[in-house]
Amino acid sequence: MEIFHISAECYPMAKVGGLADVVGALPKYQSNAGHHVRVVVPAYDTKFKRENNFDCVHWGTVKLGNFNFPFSILKESTDKLGYELYLIEINELFNRQNVYGYEDDIERFLSFQIAALDWIVARNKVPDIINCHDHHTGLIPFLTQFAYKYESLQDLRTIITIHNGLYQGWFGFDKLHYLPEFDLKHVGFLEWNNSINSLAVGVKCAHAVTTVSPSYLNEINQSANGLESLFNSVRNKSKGILNGIDIEVWNPLKDQMIAENYSIEGFETGKQKNKERLCEQFELDPSKPLFSFIGRLFEEKGGDLLPQASALALSENFENINILILGSGNTEIESQLTQLRNDYKGNYNVFIGYNEELAHLIYAGSDYILMPSRVEPCGLNQMYAMRYGTIPIVRRTGGLRDTVIDFGDEGNGICHDQASVGDICYSINRAVKLYDDKINFNKVLKRGMEADHSWESVCQEYIEIYNLIIEKNEI
């Protein structure tokens, strides 16, 4: 079948979080399974765009009210990612280095969705499925069904995958005229709480809704930033599918970004070499257990708990642990974490920002990865960590609940129930004791490395849903 994935992010073209990793990997495995897969993202000014060759395959103009934005469709010329990658180039809106965070984000992603559909119509060939990802593409299921200019797409089947339901793409009805014309009797599909809510529109109008883990599907029925009743009402067309990881990219035996390659058979020597490299870089002691955090420094990820939890854990275990933080986000949290360098030099360090190569080295060289998330729709870091023999310490929520079982239950990690400083420190204390028990520590580590989190089976779950909605059956 012909599948379009339309998304604001796709690794390695543009990455802010896990959305990029999923949209960069799932299409490759669908393509490997014999399907014709196209991925469509905005043409941001990124390193990938600058360093690769693209062919212009279509051009046109997006009309947003009184504004006209010329656009081009650029195809990556070699299909080096394992699928066809298309960029929508609207220089006035997307020729910027950041993905999000601009005052005109509503206009940016509205124009992106309209340009994508204009191009699909111009192809004169309707795909079998459009898989929309998060609120940035949430208006597509509505537009394909009700906008006059997309009449040829009325029978096109759409699915929306929710990677994070907290972000919903709200905007006022004063911008309704930005949308292509449609019969106003359908305007109710756009409304939620007296505004237009892009995610709610997608959930209402798509033929299927997926979340990135089964537990997250249950959670958003209880807590979804105001959309709880909507998610409950569409439960019959919803399914939670746990994300996979790209085991070709995340493979300690072949990873060129780490200091020494290793497999489950010889992990001890390999991990120690990576740990030594990491500790040398950040002035830490490789003889002590290394606890690391990789991610965005926001409350959602428990980032606000890290300064106090790190300080308390280091005070209680100053001679016994190292802590390393890689992340960026809230400037106050960044400042607090940076300040800790002065108080715990030799046992603590922080890298503010994001560095893909450093992330790989941290997964390979750490003993534990901290994930104290308040919300974690799926979580990929715990899967990457286990793949590299690093034990996850997680709060039981969303996909963390689905993938990590406490070692006390003969599982693959350390779990706690509350997003609190006390729970984090208690788990770190348990981890220190486990680290000193090398036989059991290695058993827990190996269980994580042996887990299969590849995309093959996940890919097939998506294909099954596509087939069901093409046949117009409920999922």
| DSSP annotation string for 326-387 | EEEE-HHHHHHHHHHHHHSBTTEEEEES--HHHHHHHHHH-SEEEE--S--SS-SHHHHHHH
Q: What separation in angstroms does the CA of 429 have from each of 368, 436, 447, 449?
A: 12, 11, 21, 23
Domains defined for the chain, CATH in brackets:
2-244+456-471 (3.40.50.2000), 266-453 (3.40.50.2000)
Q: Which residues pair with 291 in a beta bridge?
A: 323, 368
Tokens of 311: 């300080």
**Is it the case that residue 457 has pLDDT exceeding 90?**
no
Phi, psi at residue 404, to the nearest 5°? -120, 125
From CA 218, how far away is CA 185, in angstroms rounded? 32
Q: What pLDDT does residue 87 have? A: 98
From CA 74, how far away is CA 59, in angstroms rounded? 9
pTM for this entry = 0.90
What is the CB neighbour count within 10 angstroms for residue 436? 11
pLDDT tens sequence across 241-284: 999 998 988 999 999 999 999 999 989 999 999 999 999 999 99
Asked if 369 and 395 count as a contact pair (C-beta separation under 8 A), the reply is no
Confidence band (pLDDT; 50, 70, 90) for 238?
Answer: very high
Tokens of 238: 């919803």
Q: Which residue has the tokens 């009309």?
A: 63
Which amino acid, 286? Answer: P
Asked if 232 and 218 count as a contact pair (C-beta separation under 8 A), the reply is no
Of the candidates 108, 105, 130, which has an alpha carbon nearest to the alpha carbon of residue 119? Answer: 130
| Sign of the torsion formed by the C-alpha atoms of 134, 136, 141 and 142 | positive
**Is it the case that residue 474 has pLDDT exceeding 80?**
no
On the CB side of 213, CA atoms within 13 Å amount to 24
Query: What percent of the chain has pLDDT above 90?
Result: 96
**Is it the case that residue 318 has pLDDT exceeding 90?**
no
Tokens of 95: 């020729």
Q: Which residues pair with 325 in a beta bridge?
A: 293, 350
Which amino acid, 197? Answer: N
pLDDT tens sequence across 345-369: 999 999 999 899 999 999 999 999 9
Mean per-residue pLDDT for 310-318?
94
pLDDT tens sequence across 21-51: 999 999 999 999 999 999 999 999 999 999 9
From CA 144, how far away is CA 388, in angstroms rounded? 43
Count H helices and E strands in the chain, helices first: 17, 18
The residue length of the chain stands at: 475
Q: Compute CA 217 distance to the chain's CA centroid, rounded to the nearest angstrom.
A: 16
Residue 15 annotated as part of some ligand binding site: yes
Confidence band (pLDDT; 50, 70, 90) for 324?
Answer: very high
What average pLDDT does the structure give for the chain? 96
Which amino acid, 188? Answer: G
Confidence band (pLDDT; 50, 70, 90) for 472?
Answer: confident
